[in-house]
Chains A and B, each alone.
Chain A
Amino acid sequence: MSQSGSQTIEQATTAIQVDAQPDNKTRRYDRQLRLWAASGQAALESSRILVISATATSTSILKNLVLPGIGHFTILDPKNVSAADAGNNFFLNGYSSIGKSRAEEAVPLLKELNDSVDGEAVVKRVEDLLKTDDGKQWIKNFTLVIAHNLPNGPLETLSDLLWEELEDPPLMIVRSAGFLADFYIQFREQCIIESHTETAPSIRLTKPFPALQEWADNLDYSKVDPTEHAHIPFAIILIKEADQWRAEHNGALPNTYEEKAQFKKRIRERVVKIDEENFEEAETQAVRLWSEKGVPSDIEELFSLEPLTSSSSKQTLNPEFHALLKTLHAFVNSPEGPGNLPMSSTLPDMKTDTESYVKLQRMYKAQSAIEATQFKELLASKYPQLTIDEDMVDSFIKHAHQIKVLRGKKYGALEADKDAISAALQAWPSDTATTHFALNALSILLEKNSDPTTITAETLKSEVENFVGQGVDIPEDLDNAVGELARSPTADLPNTAAFLGGMIAQEAIKMITKQYVPVNGWCVVDLIESKTGIVNN
């Protein structure tokens, strides 16, 4: 750096401007904004969560939702605090809470975790609410409903209610006893733009846009000086080498292992002096040439997905997302388009000088702006009557390579399907499904007779055999699960509660922010083996 250059910087910074410093709210949420950004935070802040029961597990879940800043929560619980509750629930005032309303005692202790979150206690039975139209509508107005250890009867009614309309809120079902637990998210469709998967977007090495191609074409290795030579960005090197290779191989890129090795060798041979890191980088990045696809196969699959449509109202679910998806399909097929997903404006770092990198970055940005405009024109012509938030469109274009769509099933879908049960029991590791079915049996038995002393390993086992049906082999692991549940049929252990509190909150955050990918299927937790597993639907 020259002396004068540094002087300017010093002068410019003598008067320190701290006005760029974030406000208190941004500082408070800094560590999570780095994960889901302002858009995710806004979604959280406008959410309203209903939690049924104020058990240790329920308050643990809520703690992890109040801290990051959901908008509002409601605890629905008709019970009073028992001696046992006062012992295992951190969000009660110990002994002095005994005998008072569990929901009313818990709400203030949860609210004090975050001033910007509102919460209320509703001392009612969910069974009663489910009997009236007002009660039903009240439940449907939440963003998300979470139920812990709700008996099977009301749980099924609740699940039916929240499966009536396409836009009904997701229902998270959580069950636990002792060291074992499982949970399930009942939802129709989750459309994710920012899935945060680690797949890198294409940088168009196989199909360069005109400006990029021109740069590669105009580059003559023999005419650049040694400093410049060591600063040619790897993208340009690869485009140039790929062109030459294709010219010699009837338009094909390296395909076999030998061809790829030979291609890399060519790059190595371009090096004129040692330590040309840009060529080293080109060699390691050559894999982009043969892995880069115009349209990744998982995105291609989404093109054939039809939106969910209500049979009664003819309304579709997530119409904006599906309009964008259809537009993406049209964009990819459009003769005027690049034949690729629209360009994401993010460029990886490359070993080159500032000038070349900035030039390259501007080219990519310019191209990405052109394609974004094409995309938006296509969207407007296909859906003239639809107004979609500009930020959503831009985000969709930017993240087109990582969009995901999950389709869920109703609670009980697995149990209603004999083939699915049998497949789950044959899957590896076998104790995932046996634990899940043992928890089913526990919930059925406790509903018939709430006295936990009636629960034995034998009664649980025969209940499992009962609904699994004849002719299906049940793995021996079932003995471990039923034995463990018989040992602690009604135990809401503080550690299990805390573990589930984290897991359920994490999945709830994914559902609400529509970022990252939630679980689809039953997630089974075994804290004896310290492991989790999934039973697919």
Chain B
Amino acid sequence: MTTVNDDATSSDWDGRYYHVDQVLNTPGPRTEDSFQAGDAVKDFLRNQCKILVIGAGGLGCEILANLALTGFKDIHVIDMDTIDISNLNRQFLFRPKDVGNPKALVAAEFIMQRVPGVKVTPYFGKIQDKDEDYYLQFNIIVCGLDSVEARRWINATLVNMVDEENPESLKPLIDGGTEGFKGQARVILPTISSCYECSLDMLNKPTAFPICTIANTPRLPEHCIEWASVLEWPRVHGEKKLDTDDPEHIGWLYNTALTRAKEFKIEGVTWSLTQGVVKNIIPAIASTNAIIAASCCNEAFKIATSSAAFLNNYFMLIGTEGVYSYTFEHEKRKECPVCGGESLDITISKEWTVERLIEMLVEKQDIQIKKPSLSSGIKQIYFQAPPQLEQATRPNLEKKVSELVEDGGEVTVTSSTLPFNLSLRIKYT
């Protein structure tokens, strides 16, 4: 590993920050009074501020470079992935020789080599490996992830971490995301402004094909691919797990889907489509990532320096037809399971079984809980794990909810993937 370049002749040479210093030396017409122009703000930014970047992929690479150039010198980065050839069209800190290596390590190395005096500390692993103490050491957290699950986790963790007695426990979270020519950047002040969970219903609903279509009435090439991956793979390969990064596995799915498509006279099964469907590939380009990452880093810079007001709180960009953007304040949801505090009212039929309720929780756009476990007070309704408890509560799946929970009663929903509880108030029609 290269170490931080501390050479006095190369670090912080005269005029290094000529550009950034223009906005740090003088306030603008809209700058707030708290701005400490000059040495104080520069000292904080360059010598004290500690910032965490989550994700070293499409957004992460850009975020790291921008933060380093603007003068953040103590940067940490977490990423659990290794570099794939399909990353190279946008993740500009990686070269073909890096394929297979951990993103966090390669990215950190590159930044330190290119921008002298900046220390980037990588962690190759999951965000869930780290505890509150770890997250408490940072001033700001910037998140460039493509996984909804991971974002919900970090969001909930940071909201839960807020201790009213300790203002230092409130960590601004800046979150970016892109899809093709579209993207968004937002600033979340945990417990104060709308959180990631509050806006879950704004996500595009992933396309799900009904099992009966896949099994009995395929019409589209996608149906054949889903058949190959969801039904045929487990039937033929048993316990062997499908690895969507393994070309042999994709090859098998492709051939299987193609054969089925031929049988049903359906056209359009290709390798690329097979990969797209099974990996749920989202188109991604360098330019959109650059815009969104720049926006995230610009907010981080404004928060760290107070040189200008930061975004309140959502910036949305659509670049398919001209340049259209929309900046607005996304409102907190009072029944948000993470930051809201009020329970969510759910009205269902008295005839609904527990299983039907679980199906709804999985599908509902503002909830989206995979594998939920349900309890009401001390009563266990259904638990996904451990196996003994699952077995003991399984008979309840067939029962009507109304037999287990009274009208207006509370049901607590938990899931091992999410660090929070959702509380529902059940009403019957």
Contacts and interface: CB of A to CB of B under 8 A. Distances in A.
Given A84-B16, A86-B13, A480-B29, A35 B181 contact: yes
A491 B24 CA distance: 11
Contact of A95 (B9, B85, B86, B90): B9
B16 A9 contact: no
Nearest to A491: B22
B29 to A, nearest CB: 3
A397 B289 CA distance: 33
Nearest to B215: A1
Contact of B30 (A89, A350, A480): A480
A527 interface: yes
Interface in B340-381: none
Interface string A501-533: 111011101000000111110010001111110
Interface in A465-507: 479-480, 483-484, 487-499, 501-503, 505-507
Interface string A44-76: 000000000000100010011001110000000
B208 interface: no
Given A21-B250, A95-B9, A518-B322, A488 B22 contact: yes
B107 to A, nearest CB: 13
A96 B114 CA distance: 11
Given A82-B15, A495-B297, A519 B286 contact: no
B89 A491 contact: no
B248 interface: yes
B321 A88 contact: no
Contact of A90 (B22, B26, B69, B282): B69
A132 interface: no
Given A20-B251, A83-B16, A354-B264, A498 B89 contact: no
A529 B65 contact: no
A316 to B, nearest CB: 26
A31 B285 contact: yes
Contacts of A211: none
A457 B30 CA distance: 13
Contacts of B70: 493-495
Task: Indicate the member of A29, A487, A490, A498 with the most B CB atoms within 10 Å.
Answer: A498
A169 interface: no
A200 B386 CA distance: 49
B66 A494 contact: yes
Contacts of B16: 83-84, 86-87
B20 interface: yes
B220 interface: yes
B283 A354 contact: no
Interface string A2-19: 000110111011001110
A422 interface: no
Interface stretch (B133-141, B252-260, B406-414, B419-427): B252-260
Nearest to B10: A95
A273 to B, nearest CB: 16
A502 B219 contact: no
A84 to B, nearest CB: 3
Contact of A534 (B9, B181, B323, B327): B323
B308 interface: yes
A84 B15 contact: yes
Contacts of B308: 179, 528
B14 interface: yes
A27 B286 contact: no
A114 B283 CA distance: 19
A494 B20 contact: yes
A90 B19 contact: no
A88 B28 contact: no
A67 B259 contact: no
Nearest to B90: A67
B339 interface: no
Interface in B64-106: 65-66, 69-70, 85-86, 88-90, 92, 95-96
Nearest to B86: A30
B159 to A, nearest CB: 23
A32 interface: yes
A165 B259 CA distance: 55
B327 A531 contact: yes
B164 interface: no
A31 B23 contact: no
B3 interface: no
A101 interface: no
The 4 A-B pairs of least Cβ separation, nearest first, read: A502-B290, A83-B15, A483-B29, A84-B18
Interface of B: 9-10, 13-20, 22-23, 26-30, 62, 65-66, 69-70, 85-86, 88-90, 92, 95-96, 114-116, 180-181, 185, 215-220, 232, 235-236, 247-248, 250-252, 254-256, 259-260, 263-266, 270-272, 275-276, 281-295, 297-299, 301-302, 308-309, 311, 315, 317, 319-323, 325, 327
Interface of A: 1, 5-6, 8-10, 12-13, 16-18, 20-22, 24, 26-35, 56, 60, 63-64, 67-69, 82-84, 86-90, 93-96, 98, 112-115, 178-179, 195-197, 231, 349-350, 352-354, 357-358, 457, 479-480, 483-484, 487-499, 501-503, 505-507, 509, 516-520, 523, 527-532, 534
